[in-house]
Amino acid sequence: MITLLNYTLAFAAILLLVALGGCVSEHSGVINLGLEGIMVIGALGGALVMKFMPNAGGFGLFLCVMLASIVFGVIYSSLLAVACINLKADQTIVGTALNMLGTALATVIVKSMNLSSSGGANTSSVVKYENKQAFFSNLGSFELNWFMVVALVMLAVVFVLLYKTKFGLRLRACGEHPQAAASVGINVFKMRWAGVLLSGLLGGLGGITYITTGVSEWKFEEGVFGFGFLSLAVMIFGAWDPVKIGGAAILFGFFRALGRVYNGIDFLKSLNIPPALYSMLPYIVCLIVLAFTSKNSKAPKAEGIPYDKGMR
Amino acid sequence: MNKKSPLLQRDGVLTIISSVLCVILGLIVGFLAVLIIKPAGALNAIRAIILNFFEFKRANLRLENFGSTLAKTAPLIMCSLSVLFAYKVGLFNIGVAGQYALGAGMSIYAAAILHLPWYVCLLLGIIVGGVSGALCGVLKAYCNVNVVISGIMLNWISLYGVNVLLLPAKDAAGKDTVRLLQQAKDSVLPTLGLDKLFADNKYVGLAIPLAILMAILIWVLLEKTKMGYELKATGNNPNAAKYCGMKENRNIILTMFLAGGLASMGGALFYLTDLEQWNVYASAVPAMGFNGIAAAFLGGLSPIGCIFSSYFITHITAGALHLNTTMYFAQVADFITAVIIYLCGFVLFFKTLIRNRMRKQEERFTPKERDEVKAAEVKQEGGKQA
C-alpha cells in the first residue's frame, strides 16, 4: 500500500508541476500544447548535469540539476513565445511542432554524444542515474522524492503569484481581455512572454521529475508518454485554479500509479485484468472526467487568440 | 480577388513559395545539425538524405526503392488528408496516430485471424477509425471537450488496445505480427500490375492510386459540394453557420468521423501491403500520425499539395536510413521534419511578409482594396481556431 502512495505522489508531482505551467501560460492567453516537448528538453538539461557531475551528490547536485532543467525549459519555451506571440502563428501547430522537435532534438543530441563513447551500441539514454538516489530521502518505508517538495512549493508560489500580486492580476487580465489590459497600459506582449517562459520553467522541472521517478533507464526517443497532455487535462479538470489542480493531479497520479503497482496488491491481482487495461486507465479516466467537466469551462476568455492591437 | 492579382500575389503561388522556403530552411538546419555532430561526413550525410534511392548505382534497385518509398507515401497522404480535412472545419485532429493504429490493428486482425478478403479488411479498418474519430466529435459537440486533448488520450488508448487485439496474431518468433503474404494471401491488397513497373516490388499496388484518388475526392468534397461548403462555414464561424440553419453538432461529428476514417484507411492500406508488420509490444504511438500533421501543413493545407509534401517527408525519412551509421543515425530525418513543421507555423507569416513587400513595391491598391485584402486575411486566421 505504501508503494501505491509513493507512486501516486510521485506521478502527482510531475502532473502538478506541468499542469501549473500550462495554467500560468493559459492565464496569460497562450495555449501551451508544447509542454510535452518542453518536458523532454528540460529533462535533457537535468540529465546532462547528472552525467557530467558524477561525483557530486546531495543538495548541491540537486540544485544544479534543477537549475539546468529550468534553463533548458525556459530557453525551449521561448521558441513557442516567439512564434505565437510575436509572429502570431497558430498555437496548436507550433505546440505540436515543439513536441515533435523536443523528442527529435533530444534524441539527436544524446545519440551524437553517445556515438563517440559507446561505439556500436548506440542508445538514446543519457545516464544510468545511479546518482539520482541522491534525490530521495527515506521516511520509514516511504521514499520521499525531493521533487515532491518542489512541486508543493511551486503550487504555493504559483497561487500567490497569480492571485496575490499585481503581476498576477495583470497576467490574468491579458488572458481574459488583452485589449482592455492594453488600454490601461499593460504591455500584453511582455505579459504573455512571461506566462510562456514561466510555463517553460515549470515544464522543465516536470520533465526532470519525470525521469527521476520510477524509470530506471529512460530513452529520449520515447518522450514522456503523453504526460504533457495528461497535465493539460489535469489543468482543465482543476478549472485553471492552482489549488484544484493540486487535487486533480493526485487523482490522476493515483490511476497512473495503479498501473505500476497492481501486481503487488492482492485484491487487484485476483481480479485478473489484462495489464494493458491498467496502462490505458489514466487516459480513459481522463476522457470520462473531461466529458463531465468541460461543459462549463472556466478557461481564460482570450486563450489561443493571438493578440492584435487593432482588434476590439 | 485572386483572379485580378498578379501571379506572385495569388494565394496558391504564395503557399507554394512559403512551403518551399520551409523545406529549404529545414534542410539548412538539418545540415547544421549533422555538421555539428560530425563535420567530416556532413555533406555526404545531407546528400544521402536528399537523394535517397537516387544514390544507388543500379537502375533496378533505384526503381524498387522508389516503389517502396511510394508504398510508404500512400498512408502518409491519407493521414495528412485526415488532418487537413478536420482543420478546414476548424478542428485539429491530433488523434490521427491513434486512428491510424486502429485502422492498422483492425485490418491486420481481419486479415491474419479471420482471413477475410482484402476489401472487407480495408472496410473494417476504415470503420473502426471513423468511429474513434466520431467519438472525439461527440465529446466536442455535446461535452465541449477539447479535441486535441481527447485526441491524444484516444491515441494512447488505441495503441494499447491494438496491442492487445493483435497479440494472437503475433508471429511466434518475434515481436511482430505474422507476414500476411505467407499467412493470408487473399487479404493482401492487389498489385494491379503496378509491381511490374517498379522492378517487381510486390509491395507496390492499389494503395498508391487509391490514396491519390482520395486526395482528389477530398478536394472535390471541400471545394465543389454543398456539404463541403457547410463544413467549412461551420469551421470559419460556428455561430454564423448555426444562424444560417446548419447543424453545427452534426457537422462536427461527421467531420471527425470522416477524418478518422481517412487516417485509419491509411493504416489499413499500409499494413495490408505487408511491407511492414505491427509490433505488438510497441510503446509509442505511430510516428505516421504526427508526420501527417507535418505533411498537411507543409502541403499548404491543399489536398493536392499533400500528395507532394507526403512524398517529400517519406523521401527524406527513407533517405536517412541510408546514413553512415558509424557517424549518424536515422533520427536526423525526424529532426528535419520537426524543424520543418515548426517553420510551417510561420507559413501565414511568410505569406503576409511577401505580400507586404510586394504591396510596398507596387502601392497601387486603393485603400478600399487594401481593406478587402486585410479582411480576407483576418478570415483566414479566424478559421484556424479549433
DSSP string for B210-253 = HHHHHHHHHHHHHHHSHHHHHHHHHHH-HHHHHHTT--HHHHHH
Decide if A295 and B144 are in contact by the 8 Å CB cutoff: yes
Q: Mutating which of B83, B150, B379 best tests the A interface, going by the most A Cβ atoms within 10 A?
A: B150
Q: Mutating which of A30, A93, A111 best tests the B interface, going by the most B Cβ atoms within 10 A?
A: A93
In chain B, which stretches have pLDDT less than 70? 1-9, 348, 362-370, 372-386
Q: How far apart are CA B281 and CA A312, in angstroms?
A: 52
In chain A, which stretches have pLDDT less than 50? 120
For residue B385, the model assigns a pLDDT of: 47
Q: What's the gap between Cα B341 and its chain centre?
A: 12
For residue B2, the model assigns a pLDDT of: 45
The full set of domain ranges for chain B reads 11-345
Helices B118-143, B147-166: crossing angle, 10 deg rounding: 150
Nearest to A290 among B145, B329, B331 (CB): B145
Domains in chain A and their CATH numbers? 2-116+129-293 (1.10.3470)
Picking from A76, A22, A78, the residue whose alpha carbon sits closest to that of residue A229 is A22
Q: How far apart are CA B206 and CA B47, in angstroms?
A: 31
For residue A271, the model assigns a pLDDT of: 75
| Residues near A252 by beta carbon (within 8 Å), at least 6 away in sequence | A11, A12, A15, A230, A233, A234, A237, A282, A285, A286
A146 phi, psi to nearest 5 deg? -60, -25
Measure A199 CA to nearest chain B CA, in Å.
18
Beta strands in A83-240 (DSSP E): 136-139, 142-145
Number of Cβ atoms within 10 Å of the Cβ of B253: 21
Nearest to B164 among A88, A94, A274 (CB): A274
Q: Which cell goes with A268?
A: 487487484
Residues 135-154 on A with a CB inside 8 Å of B are none
> Which CATH architecture group holds B11-345?
Orthogonal Bundle (1.10)
Locate cell 509542454: which residue?
A35
Say if A40 is an interface residue toward chain B (CB within 8 Å). no
DSSP class of residue A84 equals: I
Length of chain B: 386
For residue A120, the model assigns a pLDDT of: 47
- Cα distances from B377 to residues B48, B88, B195, B380, in angstroms, run 40, 15, 46, 5
Are the CB atoms for B208 and B74 separated by under 8 Å? Answer: yes
Q: How far apart are CA A128 and CA A32, in angstroms?
A: 31
- For the stretch A103-128, what's the b/e string if a residue is b when 16 or more beta carbons lie within 10 angstroms of its beta carbon? bbbbbbbbbbebbeeeeeebebbbbe
Q: Residues of A with CB below 8 A from B386's CB?
A: 92
For residue B306, the model assigns a pLDDT of: 93
Q: Could you tell me which chain A residue has the CA closest to the CA of B327?
A: A115
For residue B348, the model assigns a pLDDT of: 67
Reduce the DSSP state of residue B178 to 3 states and report it: coil
For residue B131, the model assigns a pLDDT of: 97
Q: Residues of A with CB below 8 A from B294's CB?
A: 97, 100
Residue A136 Rama label (left phi>0; alpha psi -120 to 50; beta): beta
Query: What residues are paired with B177 via a beta bridge?
Result: B170
For residue B174, the model assigns a pLDDT of: 82
Picking from A302, A65, A299, A95, the residue whose alpha carbon sits closest to that of residue A196 is A95
Q: Which cell goes with A198?
A: 514561466
